Amino acid sequence: MYAQLVDTGVKRVKTLNEMSPEERHFQEKIDADIKIEAKNWMPEAYRRTLIRQMSQHAHSEIVGMLPEKNWLTRAPNLKRKLQLLAKIQDEAGHGLYLYSAMETLGANRDEELEKLHSGEVKYSSIFNYPSRSWADMGTIGWLVDGAAIVNQVVLQRTSYGPYSRAMIRICKEESFHQRQGYQILLEMMRNGTDEQKAMVQDSINRFWWPALMMFGPHDTDSPNSAQSMQWKVKRMSNDDLRQRFIDQTIPQLELLGCTVPDPDLKWNEERGHYDFGSIDWSEFYSVLKGNGPCNKDRLKTRRNAYANGAWVREAAKAYADKHKQAAA
Amino acid sequence: MSDWTLFEVFVRSKHGLNHKHVGSVHAADAAMALENARELYTRRSEGVSLWVVPSAQITASSPDEKEPLFDPSDDKVYRHATFYDLPQEVGHM
């Protein structure tokens, strides 16, 4: 999940009877799976929640470019470099789709970026982990984009029209990311040296638990879920999404010939799902709070990129103004 | 970026269809909007032609007018071909 712990500001979910006529009309549309569009009436809390969720989601896309940038100049060959470059450009594009969709709610992109840069608004915890080896480019594509896809496929049915349409577009592009990542790992496992194979296993060991944390806390510790589910801003619970991801991923893991660092992972015939060990939530909350291995570095890189690009934005504006005057 | 103009982007796909709204971009001017739209919306051969239009130039119908604008056509079934039952022997028409 690219947006974690999105606060709805709502303490208790209202029943239809407790709602004002406007709220009831709104909720009935949502219950009937009619999309909400930008100009439709919506509760203020719905608008604010969506802005929070979409801005977190957009920030995650653009911060997500940074761990991959790390290997761009050290890709093993030109083909892999071009693929990685295309993937990184997609992430920038995904961020832009989401910022645009967010702006339809009256949010201002500069202000939301400022909240990212000041640390007020978060991005996904996963991008605060370092990318130490080339195998991490494979693991990120396979596990991190894979987890994002599980989340985003469901979000295609989210109640807010512009968000839903952005998700549909993103999902179309995202499967390239996952397949290219998996193929990197497969190639290393099938044709690689022992050292390269060990590199893959080490990478999976480091990313497995953080990838599971992407889906956010357990449903029982997710106080905002009930309201988000009623609004259909969220369509499936954190635990259900996580289980779906694990069930999809383990057969792919076995095909690689790798393992995950979880002794409790095993198929449960009765449930029809994989059982898995308990997640270290103290690590999750600590990373969200800013104490992950790369939080400071990621924010510094973002701030620098924005500040160093200021002259380009200003020059483009000056150029456009000059030509407008000349035409007038 | 807030002092840049917001443009709506329309793409015509390969197959001779109408231009279709796909999203928006910010840009300092129209030429830059076209370049940004190309990078953002046609990275995978999604189109053969692009339009960009300043969002402020679009006049949209209001959701409140939905009923008066669109309901009157709901009871005019005779505007559809399927309304007219014809005998089998007429064949395809």
pLDDT exceeding 70 applies to what percent of chain B?
98
- Sites in chain A below the pLDDT cut of 50: 1
Give me the residue label for tokens 């701030």.
A303
As a whole number of angstroms, the distance between CA A63 and CA A89 comes to: 12
* pLDDT computed for residue B16 by the predictor: 77
Asked if A126 and A210 touch (Cβ cutoff 8 Å), the reply is: yes
Q: Single out the residue of A100, A97, A117 nearest to residue A108, CA to CA.
A: A100
The gap between the terminal CA atoms of chain B, to the nearest Å, is: 56
Averaged pLDDT, B20-45:
94
pLDDT band at B15 (very low <50, low <70, confident <90, very high): confident
Which residues in chain B are closer than 8 Å to A100, comparing Cβ atoms?
A: 23-25
Q: A194-201: long-range contacts (C-beta < 8 A, 24 or more apart)?
A: A196/A135, A199/A133, A199/A134, A199/A135, A200/A135, A200/A138, A200/A139, A200/A256, A200/A258, A201/A258, A201/A259
Asked if A245 and A237 touch (Cβ cutoff 8 Å), the reply is: no
Q: Single out the residue of A61, A73, A71, A56 nearest to residue A5, CA to CA.
A: A56
* pLDDT computed for residue A318 by the predictor: 94
Which residues in chain A are closer than 8 Å to B28, comparing Cβ atoms?
A: 313, 316-317, 319-320
* pLDDT computed for residue B14 by the predictor: 82
DSSP tag of A140: I
Q: One-letter amino acid identity for A156?
A: Q
DSSP tag of A40: S
For A324, nearest residue in chain B (alpha carbons) = B29
Test B63 with A40 for CB contact under 8 angstroms.
Answer: yes
* pLDDT computed for residue A7 by the predictor: 77
As a whole number of angstroms, the distance between CA A17 and CA A40 comes to: 21
DSSP tag of A200: H
Which residues in chain B are closer than 8 Å to A323, comparing Cβ atoms?
A: 29
How many beta-carbon pairs under 8 angstroms link A with B?
A: 51
Architecture (CATH level 2) of domain B5-86: Roll (3.10)
As a whole number of angstroms, the distance between CA B40 and CA B50 comes to: 12
- Count CB-CB contacts under 10 A for residue A72: 14
- Residue of A88, A91, A109, A174 for testing the chain B interface, max B β-carbons within 10 Å: A109
Surface of A (170-229) touching B: CB under 8 A: 173
Is some CB atom of chain B closer than 8 A to the CB atom of A317? yes
| Burial call B49-86: b when 16+ CB within 10 Å, e when fewer | ebbbeeeeeeeeeeeeeeeeeeeeeeeeeeeeeeeeee
Where would I find the H helices in chain A? 21-31, 44-63, 65-72, 78-103, 109-118, 135-139, 145-155, 161-191, 194-213, 225-230, 238-256, 281-286, 295-308, 310-327
As a whole number of angstroms, the distance between CA A72 and CA A123 comes to: 22
Domain ranges of chain B: 5-86
* pLDDT computed for residue B1 by the predictor: 65
Q: Is the pLDDT of residue B73 over 60?
A: yes
* pLDDT computed for residue B20 by the predictor: 94
Phi-psi region at A92: left, alpha or beta (left = phi > 0; alpha = psi -120 to 50): alpha
| Three-class secondary structure of residue B50 per DSSP | strand
As a whole number of angstroms, the distance between CA A38 and CA A28 comes to: 17
Give the distance from residue A7's alpha carbon to the nearest chain B alpha carbon, in angstroms: 26
Query: Who among B2, B27, B29 is closest to A110 (CB)?
Result: B2
The angle subtended at Cα A94 by Cα B30 and Cα A300, nearest 5°, is 95
